[in-house]
Chains A and B, each alone.
Chain A
């Protein structure tokens, strides 16, 4: 019998620490499968973030570096410049990429660094207990926006992908979702595109992944996926931005 679905070599055979229904496991797998399919595992260097995915290197079977919160794209810039033949990517959450690391994000993008960014947007800070993130939706309740995010007090959900798409240094920006198997397949295609761009020296590519956090959304895994479809995707529309 032919085996048609198997664990990527780029993924260790271990269980993850993620909560039930969390999107990180799927996103990690998509990255690993893409790296396998492109045949670049042995020249890949990943940058793990600070946040829930802080120990992503325990799950990925290739070289990895930690980066301080928000600094992943500064670290990645240097690694890629030192080793232009390697494939270098960052994996960052919304607090990391769009709050504390906004400066590093914008400037790496503006320099057109030949990097791939996998940006996980789950609209909360997960690791620290579900605080308001730059991407938290208006009205969304978090431990630091108890009555729901209010535009007057907290400002609006930050659309960093649309902002980055304005920069001439940026080659490719797409927003995808892990809301259904069909969307997961589309997400994988986008992530693959972002890696191919780097391999073809086309410059800065970013894929924003709308990812469920049932724990801090106070929902069941199924409700969280529906919430992405019915609420989150309205604020963060899917598709190619650039």
Chain B
């Protein structure tokens, strides 16, 4: 079957990807720069699905909690300040072992910040964000096509591991339009979830909860969670590597930053400079494998629209074997090609 190609924004691509993945429940609250997403869901959610404009982000995430508990593929989207408000609910989703997809189209912070693109919620996304020992799987698309594809992957991963999955993009990715090849594969209706709340006909009652009062019970549960995270760490690292076999300087960047890095690399490569790229696609689990390079002379340049957040994960992955440089701007500034090239020339 020939696949249909359409021109849409990143926000719309995530919405379309969700619908294609069988998302039947969406709740959200307006916030820039992700408003196209909520509008798309309002317009295109099928009649049998549910769209709710919630009264707040805490309400939206708790609606997602309820829908996930009821067995539906459910999603919400927001941007940085709204995601902060959702952290309590995300912690409950993780603690109740519910699958859900949360989209954060990041803007500048802290506080109300501004509506310019940023990557400054990296720590919040990859360290759990709310209270307790938990993780989300965090996926960072680098193009509109990938935003569409990874949204479908997100629902599958959420169901497979019973964890919340976050799609982490920035305002540029959300707003820009690119052609997207739509997936032709028909997604099966929701797979049966034996733990979901449907009424206890013919079985014992199901309970969805994150409360473990009995002595030792919470630790026992937390160890199960950790085991699940360990499995995810082993199986779900995702990244793109470019010119890693001969690169002397390896740029490390994700999302929109990686696109700018790619332009820089093709420019420098045509001038004979040996520059490569590691683009983490899963930010949690953070890809370890591509950093396992023996050559001690390699230098890394981490580039972010934030002030050294992913840098910490790169340091952990490189483990002192090679030198790491950093270039970051945030609050409306995006590291330019020129800034990157100047920095690379200094360290080459």
Contacts and interface: CB of A to CB of B under 8 A. Distances in A.
Contact of A42 (B59, B92, B201, B208): B201
A66 B208 contact: yes
B64 A78 contact: yes
A103 interface: yes
Contact of B92 (A68, A82, A107): A68
B-side interface size class: 35 or more
A164 interface: no
Contact of A86 (B55, B62, B199, B205): B199
Nearest to A111: B52
A74 B67 contact: no
Contacts of A62: 199-200, 205
B208 A78 contact: no
A189 interface: no
Interface in A35-50: 41-45, 48
B62 A71 contact: yes
Contact of A43 (B52, B199, B213): B199
Contacts of A82: 24-25, 50, 66-67, 70-72
| Best-buried of A41, A61, A79 by chain B (most CB within 10 Å) | A79
Interface residues of A, number: 33
Nearest to B202: A42
B59 A55 contact: no
Contacts of B209: 48, 57, 64-66
A83 B206 CA distance: 15
B222 interface: no
A55 B214 CA distance: 12
A107 B55 contact: yes
Contacts of A44: 199-200
A238 interface: no
B58 interface: yes
A67 B50 contact: no
A54 interface: yes
B197 interface: yes
A158 to B, nearest CB: 18
A63 interface: yes
Contacts of A75: 62-63, 65-66, 69
A48 B211 CA distance: 11
A78 B50 contact: yes
Interface of B: 24-25, 27, 50, 52, 54-56, 58-60, 62-67, 69-72, 74, 88-89, 92, 96, 197-202, 205-211, 213
Q: Top 7 closest A-B pairs, CB basis?
A: A78-B66, A74-B62, A43-B199, A75-B66, A66-B209, A42-B201, A107-B55
19 contacts: A43-B199, A45-B197, A45-B199, A48-B209, A62-B200, A64-B197, A64-B208, A65-B66, A66-B207, A71-B62, A71-B89, A74-B66, A78-B65, A82-B50, A82-B66, A83-B199, A103-B55, A103-B58, A107-B55
Interface of A: 41-45, 48, 54-55, 57, 60-68, 71, 74-79, 81-83, 86, 103-104, 106-107
Given A43-B201, A63-B197, A74-B63, 20 more contacts: A41-B200, A44-B200, A48-B209, A61-B200, A62-B200, A63-B199, A63-B205, A63-B206, A64-B197, A64-B208, A66-B211, A67-B65, A68-B89, A77-B52, A78-B52, A78-B64, A82-B25, A82-B71, A83-B198, A103-B59
